[in-house]
Amino acid sequence: MEKLKVKQIMTATKASAKKSTKISQRGDLAPDRIAAILKALDEAYPNAVCALHHRSPWELLVATILSAQCTDVRVNMVTPELFRRFPTPEAMTKATQPELEDLIRTTGFFRNKSKSIIGAAKAITGQFGGKVPRTLAELITVPGAARKTANVVLGVAYGLAEGVVVDTHVFRIAHRLGLAKSDTAPGVELELMKVIPPLRWIDFSHQIIHHGRQVCVARKPKCDQCNLEPLCHSKDKTWWS
- Residue 42 is a catalytic residue: no
CA distance linking residue 153 with residue 135, whole number of Å: 10
The catalytic residue among 14, 148, 181, 235 is 148
The catalytic residue among 42, 122, 167, 237 is 167
CA distance linking residue 204 with residue 207, whole number of Å: 5
Which of these, 202, 199, 206, 237, lies nearest to 221 by C-alpha position?
A: 237
- Do 68 and 109 form a contact (C-beta atoms < 8 A)? yes
How many CA atoms, within 13 angstroms, populate the side-chain half-sphere of residue 71? 5
- Residue 32 is a catalytic residue: no
Q: What is the DSSP secondary-structure string of 109-152?
A: -HHHHHHHHHHHHHHHHHHSTTS--SSHHHHTTSTT--HHHHHH
Q: In the chain, how long is the greatest CA-to-CA distance?
A: 87
CA distance linking residue 13 with residue 121, whole number of Å: 63
Catalytic residue set: 148, 167
